Structure 1
């Protein structure tokens, strides 16, 4: 009889890795499945780089879901320090311990100084949590948007990713019994140092081509009509082919737009409704102003001219 608490087995081939992703609704190409398979089998962190909204973070969520592992997420930001990322001491509880000891007449300061730095007073943050053993197996440790953190914190991660250990002066070195599954993402707002990249397997997550994006939208937004789905994907692909937008829409925005228009009972791209909902697809006012109006209608007309069989004209109201 199998142990329900036993950790799920890692995929043993590229095909199984691809099936694992597909089974969770993540449409991946073989290149991504290959590097993910190697990362899992070799026990090396996977460094995913690419534009925002292309599905980097989702890979960690899918792994956690399909492998039955805990997901521990460290969201990086400017000024991130050890207290927020690794650990800090519970100072209020330590003060209470000191006052209780003093009230009880305990004057052994050496013993007291040791007791207030026991594990029970340690507040464990994501890095330390990721090194702890679990009945489910090593967790999936997502270090999200590392490029937003300072270089000093990036340098600290070298010890974590090299030896999977953290040194706490009052307690000593804490080392993982088994390395966590580490996924690192970056939107490339700055370059990450080579010393950290060398510890990882690397993959650039690009915008999907039209065929794969169409499959993604059909998988994630099954309620959208085939015509609407095809026109949305074609519209977004045309926008990405142009270079005058401040921020090109990612797959996440494509899905949001398809969901929004489907909720509004649209069966195809209507210029007026598309204009009214551009804020779902584009996140900067300058980009919205560039696309709205005649340019938006021109793109829709081009889509229908290029594929008249699939992109049907709007019904008369």
Structure 2
């Protein structure tokens, strides 16, 4: 892992080189957006279709810059307790019992209460860990799955890099984390959140770049097979599928073919490995009926 500070990343081109070293081939737009997020100390909001490399960008930034990656996976119903912190109630209860036993049943209430709300009993969830561990990369993944209330909760953290825990006090990051938010646009994220971020829309890569991605991620794969898989995947994306394949599925497909010792993609090898790239039976049936067109 390369250890680089943000000050040493002098340009988008330098950052693109670092990302390439971790296996992420960033186009100029992605490299520029990530560079500006570093230099301006602003969150980067990455939006796009599933499989365009939004999450992988955060992972590769952490690896390239020598920072820890802290990931918050959003989901419906996520709340502050799951994202920020909780108190370890079972341990607090055991602590109270131990205090009571040590004091012979004569427990000073104020002293006992003060001893409960300390670092010892604080369970830090991803957002609090990111503030305490900074500098780090904080990935807030699939923010579009969360609700409006959770978005509102994030605003103070994105604005000030600080949270207040009533029983404990204020926790402020000495160095702001590099925050990457991703969205598959299953719903619109509010303007108040977007205003606090730089924004970049990620497209699926073009043919040449996707071939290069496969060859960088799968050592030893032939150029012919990488190109055939990429061409087929890009045709699949143009079909009306329930789940069009992303770059990750293209890599899986190429790896499956390589594992079977195939050096080209023909109708037979495609038919037996489609499960690596398509994840719905309806999509499998539709594509198997059009294999000749897919491999043309």
- 1:129-166 per-position Cα deviation (integer Å, ceiling 9, x unaligned): 000145xxx01111111111222111100111011111
> Out of 56, 63, 66, which is 1:65 matched to?
63
Find the aligned partners of 2:286 and 2:24 in 1 and give their Cα distance: 32
Aligned residues of 1:10 and 1:67 also touching (Cα < 8 A) = no
Find the aligned partners of 1:133 and 1:55 in 2 and give their Cα distance: 25
- 1:24-53 per-position Cα deviation (integer Å, ceiling 9, x unaligned): 221111111111111100000011111111
Find out whether 1:256 has 2:227 as its counterpart.
no
- 1:214-255 per-position Cα deviation (integer Å, ceiling 9, x unaligned): 11111112322222111111111122223x212211000000
Give the aligned partner of residue 112 of structure 1: 112
Give the aligned partner of residue 235 of structure 1: 232
Aligned residues of 1:88 and 1:123 also touching (Cα < 8 A) = yes
- Give 1:172 deviation, angstroms: 2.1
Give the aligned partner of residue 313 of structure 1: none
- 1:180-221 per-position Cα deviation (integer Å, ceiling 9, x unaligned): 010111111111111001000000111111111111111112
- Give 1:128 deviation, angstroms: 0.4
Find the aligned partners of 1:108 and 1:63 in 2 and give their Cα distance: 50
Give the aligned partner of residue 101 of structure 2: 103
In the TM superposition, 1:173-184 aligns within 5 A as 173-184=170-181
Find the aligned partners of 2:161 and 2:86 in 1 and give their Cα distance: 19
> Out of 262, 269, 278, which is 1:266 matched to?
262
Q: Structure 1: any 5+ residue segments left out of the alignment? A: 303-317
Find out whether 1:276 has 2:260 as its counterpart.
no
Give the aligned partner of residue 294 of structure 2: 299
Aligned residues of 1:8 and 1:68 also touching (Cα < 8 A) = no
- Give 1:65 deviation, angstroms: 1.0
Find the aligned partners of 1:34 and 1:6 in 2 and give their Cα distance: 17
Find the aligned partners of 1:6 and 1:279 in 2 and give their Cα distance: 39
Find the aligned partners of 1:187 and 1:133 in 2 and give their Cα distance: 28
Find out whether 1:27 has 2:25 as its counterpart.
yes
Find the aligned partners of 1:5 and 1:154 in 2 and give their Cα distance: 33
Runs of 4+ with >6 A deviation: none
Find the aligned partners of 2:133 and 2:148 in 1 and give their Cα distance: 29
Aligned residues of 2:3 and 2:66 also touching (Cα < 8 A) = no
Say if 1:120 and 1:7 are closer, same or farther in 2 by CA, change over 3 A: farther
TM-score (norm 2): 0.94
Q: Is 41-50 or 124-133 further displaced after alignment? A: 124-133
Q: Is 8-17 or 112-121 further displaced after alignment? A: 8-17
Find out whether 1:185 has 2:213 as its counterpart.
no
- Give 1:5 deviation, angstroms: 9.2
Aligned residues of 1:133 and 1:177 also touching (Cα < 8 A) = no
Give the aligned partner of residue 129 of structure 1: 129
Aligned residues of 2:3 and 2:64 also touching (Cα < 8 A) = no
Say if 1:198 and 1:169 are closer, same or farther in 2 by CA, change over 3 A: same
Q: Is 77-86 or 205-214 further displaced after alignment? A: 77-86
Count of aligned residue pairs for this structure pair: 293
TM-score (norm 1): 0.88
Find the aligned partners of 1:272 and 1:203 in 2 and give their Cα distance: 39
What do you get for the CA RMSD once the two structures are aligned?
1.7
